[in-house]
Structure 1
Amino acid sequence: MVDVYSFTKDVKSLPSIERIEDIVSAIAKETARCALFIREYTAHVFAARVVGQITSEDAQTIQEFTDIFEKYKQSLDWALGVHVAVVVDDARHIAQLSLKVAKDTQATAQRLEQLEMLKNLNPVKLNSNRDGCLPADPQNIFWLYGVTGAGKSTIATSIYQTFDAMSLLGAALFFTCSNQESSPSSYPHVVDASIKDQFQRLLVEPLDRAKDHIHGPIVIILDALDECGDPEPRRRLISLISSRFATLPLLRILITSHPDLDIAAVFRDQSSIVKTPLDITKLLSLEDICLYLDTEMVHVRKIHFSWDLGPTWPGDAKITGLIECAAGLFIWASTATKYLQDAHDPSDALDHLLKKGSDLDALYAVALQSIKFWEDRTFAERAQACLAAVVLGKVPISDTTINALLGLDVKHSSAHVFFKLGCVLQWAPGKSARILHASFGDYLTDHKRCGQQPWFIDPALWGPQLARSCLRVLKMELCFNICRLKDSHISNIAVPDLADCIATYIPAHLSYSSCFWADHILSAEWDEAILADIENLMYNKFPFWLEILSILGNLGIGINVLRCVGEVAKQQNIALAEFLADAIKFMVAFAPAFIHSLPHLLNPVPETNTGTN
């Protein structure tokens, strides 16, 4: 294998060579098969084979791999010596990764050879009373989860094709909610037995009898598990997967799904399950979209050969435009390329596509409709409020911050909503909730696009409500000497461990409310309640609000807020407007001192005083 992969050190300097693409692809498959054989050889029956001799069956397998790699090396040498043409970029990635596998394989083989030699030295037998290593939990389940359209099923299909070609595929189930056969409740009819009985009789017992004749793992693919039937039978299947499949070391199970609450709750604490999100916001995902589009454009050019598009059509600028429109969603990119393939004039069609942009309204509607709780008025109202906080929030905020802003208790936490909205939001417990693409926020807040849906977010309604939430937090939590500072005569930058004090005494919801309460109302109509809350903040809590902005280093925000709110107040409350104008003059005049020692300016106190203002 090392000999075969020796060409990779020069691969960057090689031009694209079309002839070797199939050869390198075949080498990669044989490398995977060989790596699986070695892993099973060294792990599954390693102890027995160190003591004994290599079986004739193993020796034959090793010889077969040796012959195959020699054959491919000869083919590769011949192809490299013929001529240069196209496409080796994909193979380069495979080859570079496989070179590491080859080196690891060589090292493993050397260790096995050394163990075989040591066996002849008659070593002292191991003391059976000595403690061994702690047992490691097997990890034979891989859960890939992500939002609708991220490419989970595409990945599952590719893995299906790869392992099927290697004769290592045990089964592949691609669930769809519209297919009755996707329900676990239909399984027992096959053998008229419960799922647990089927598991024991159709998997555990046959695999136990065949384990000595199986080289390499058997791959099972369960795609779109969240679409597997009704909640109750699906719950039984998920429970069975999490509790029993780890006992089948010969199986490798790939599961894809949305991060639905019932699946996440069961899989979360299972050490046998490798949990990986398919994050479409990462650079690697965008690079994958780019690679996908580049590949698909080759097919578009071939289909529309009569248009003489040229070898680089449609050009880097328009490919970049497509990537921006796709925003990491493979479903968008796939639909776009199919549209171009079927178009009469691909260039005109591409221009139209780029002008139209990312039209995902139908996809968003389908994803939101898949949540079965919108008819529940209590859930719908809470979900709407939580979505408003995410979509209209000025910075990404966590579920705990949203709970505090909206006054939600543990029983009615926003986390319950976000778990159900996992198909359209990027979120993890305690982390910021984010929309995946700007078009989702545009969709939710556009009356023409979803005004009749229960998830519609009206900024004119929810903006003031969020402002009232912020003002309520400030009314309740702003106080004298918020950070419990011991000396009011030193500047903020001289306060020891100021960052720790902020983390301890200024929670995220208080920080957010202090900085952004005005942003939620400046473009909305003020009612009497909003005006009363602003008056209360300015007349009763103004020094404490300035103090917290000073500690956070955001006094500039305060000055801008006073100016903007003052302009609106001129139309409704002259006294408040005059107060705000005087406050601005005060802040501007003493801005440098504010930055260094706001408490001392507002309330000069003796050195012995332990308070600040």
Structure 2
Amino acid sequence: MSRNLAGGDVQYWESLAESIKKGSIRTSTNTNTQFEELIVKPSKAASTIGPVLIILDALDESGDPIERKEVLDLLSRGFSELPPNYRFLITSRPESDIVSWSEHPTILCKHMDDLDLDETTRDIQRYISSCVYHHYYQVVDTSDNGLYWRSALAKQAKGHFQWASTVCNYILGPTICQTEAVERAKDLVHGSPPTLYQLYYDVLMQQPEFSRQGFFLAFKIIMRILITMREPLSIYALQTFLQEDISYDVCSVIQPINALFPGASSNDPIRYLYASMIDFLTICFIEIVKDEQVKTVINPFTWILQIMVI
């Protein structure tokens, strides 16, 4: 955050550099000290006159309620310590601790359910079109039919950007050609709109070897690590870590489902797409499994416990 703020202000950058010169701040894990030295002090030295907007996306995914308390307390204090031209735009799922925190009189809270659905749908359609454009460096299928499926997908999202984002990852995967992407989009449009969890399931079931006992065991071991590790690992690190525990190559398990795991198509750290993936993998996966071959592999009574134990 501090680096981004320093990018457009020389005075901020100089003040930040002075703070970094202190050896203690480079090794400190105290968030209060970091906030004071890397954000508050440089912001007071900044020459920016106009408004400065800081966007914090998915605050609910910053940790569990205990970990989030420190962040929420820090933000509450930060609102008053930062210059008056600084503003925060924060997005989050309505977790109870965040909802209570947002009731502070200095915070203006907007619920997605209160927004105009038609306007949100138009925003989602622009988002889908933008994803398509940036993926192929051109507008794909500009015919009336092409506009139709992008509009139809936006309506199926029902105002949920997370659903739209997952769909875009699903139809625009790094190994998906343009023709297949359009066909996937049309299949989604012509069928019953899947829920977010059903969409996760459909992506997983694209992997043809999922019903094999050895493959599913490898998948389950990898998921345990992705969920329980505090810091995400790359494919290379996972492969080194698990080379004696699974018979499948980590790439062959993860890369076909990279729509759910950003970083799976490169050597970047692998992360689950959203915090809702944890709920899906530990609770909801059993409830929506429909393939009898997969059912013979999954023990519904031990899955939830096993996936959380290394």
Q: What TM-score do you get using the length of structure 1 for normalisation?
A: 0.26
Specify the structure having the higher radius of gyration (Cα).
1
Q: What TM-score do you get using the length of structure 2 for normalisation?
A: 0.46
